A and B are shown apart, each in its own frame.
Chain A
Amino acid sequence: MINQKNVQALYNLPTNVEFCKKCTISNQRPRISFDENGICSACNFAEYKKKIDWSIREKELADLCDKHRKNDGSYDVVVPCSGGKDGSFVAHMLKNKYKMNPLTVTWAPHIYTDIGRKNLDNFIRIGGFDNILGSVNGSVHQKMSQLAFLHMGDNFQSFIYGQTNFPIKVAVQHNISLIMYGENGEVEYGGDMKNAQQPTRDIKDHDGHYFSGKPPEFWVEHGVSKSDLYPYMPPSYEKIIKNKTEIHFMSYYHFWDPQENYYYSVKHTGFESNPERTEGTFSKYAGLDDKTDGQHYYLSYIKFGIGRATSDVSHEIRDGKITRDEGVLLVKKYDGEFPKLYFKETLSYLNISEELYWQVIDSWRSPHLWSKIDGVWKLNTTVWDIK
Chain B
Amino acid sequence: MRNIRLISRLDIKAPNLVKGIQFEGLRKLGDPNEFALKYYLQGVDEIFYTDIVASLYERNSLLDIIKQTTDNVFVPITVGGGLRSVEDVLAALRAGADKVSINTAAIKNPSIITEISKKFGSQCMVLSIQAKWQGDHWEAYYDNGREHSYLDVVEWAKKGAELGAGEIILTSVDKEGTFKGFDHDLIRAVTDAVSIPVIASGGMGKLEDINTAVNYGNADAVAMASVLHYNHHDINSIREHCLNEKIPVRKVSSIGMP
Of the candidates A276, A285, A329, the one whose C-beta lies within 8 Å of that of B147 is A276
Of the candidates B58, B132, B141, the one whose C-beta lies within 8 Å of that of A329 is B58
Complex interface: chain A residues within 8 A of B258 (CB): none
Inter-subunit contact B56/A272 (CB<8 Å): no
- A252, B58: Cα distance in complex, Å: 37
- A283, B53: Cα distance in complex, Å: 12
Of the candidates A263, A275, A277, A329, the one whose C-beta lies within 8 Å of that of B25 is A263
Q: How far is the CB of A377 from chain B (nearest CB, A)?
A: 25
Q: Does A355 contact B (CB under 8 A)?
A: no
Inter-subunit contact A273/B57 (CB<8 Å): no
- A329, B146: Cα distance in complex, Å: 17
Complex interface: chain B residues within 8 A of A275 (CB): 132
B residues contacting A by CB (< 8 A) are 21-22, 24-28, 53, 56-58, 132, 141, 143, 145-148, 178
Inter-subunit contact B21/A321 (CB<8 Å): no
Inter-subunit contact B132/A266 (CB<8 Å): no
Contacts A263-B27, A266-B21; is A282 near B146 (CB within 8 Å)? Answer: yes
Inter-subunit contact A277/B146 (CB<8 Å): yes
Sample 14 A-B pairs with CB under 8 A, ordered by A number. Answer: A262-B21, A262-B25, A266-B21, A276-B147, A277-B146, A277-B147, A282-B56, A284-B145, A284-B146, A285-B25, A326-B53, A329-B57, A329-B58, A330-B57
Inter-subunit contact B26/A321 (CB<8 Å): yes
Q: Does A259 contact B (CB under 8 A)?
A: yes
User: Which range holds the interface residue count of chain A?
Assistant: 10 to 19
Q: Which residue of B lies closest to A326 (CB)?
A: B57
Inter-chain contact total with CB atoms closer than 8 Å = 42
Inter-subunit contact A259/B25 (CB<8 Å): yes
Inter-subunit contact B56/A266 (CB<8 Å): no
- A273, B177: Cα distance in complex, Å: 12
Q: Which residue of B lies closest to A273 (CB)?
A: B24
- A321, B24: Cα distance in complex, Å: 12
Q: How far is the CB of A240 from chain B (nearest CB, A)?
A: 37
- CB-contacts of A253-291 with B (<8 A): 259, 262-263, 266, 272-273, 275-277, 282-285
Of the candidates B24, B53, B58, B132, the one whose C-beta lies within 8 Å of that of A262 is B24
Complex interface: chain A residues within 8 A of B28 (CB): 320-321
Contacts A259-B25, A277-B143, A277-B146; is A266 near B178 (CB within 8 Å)? Answer: yes
Q: Which residue of B lies closest to A284 (CB)?
A: B24
Contacts A326-B57, A330-B56; is A263 near B143 (CB within 8 Å)? Answer: no
Complex interface: chain B residues within 8 A of A285 (CB): 24-25
Complex interface: chain B residues within 8 A of A283 (CB): 24
- A115, B24: Cα distance in complex, Å: 15
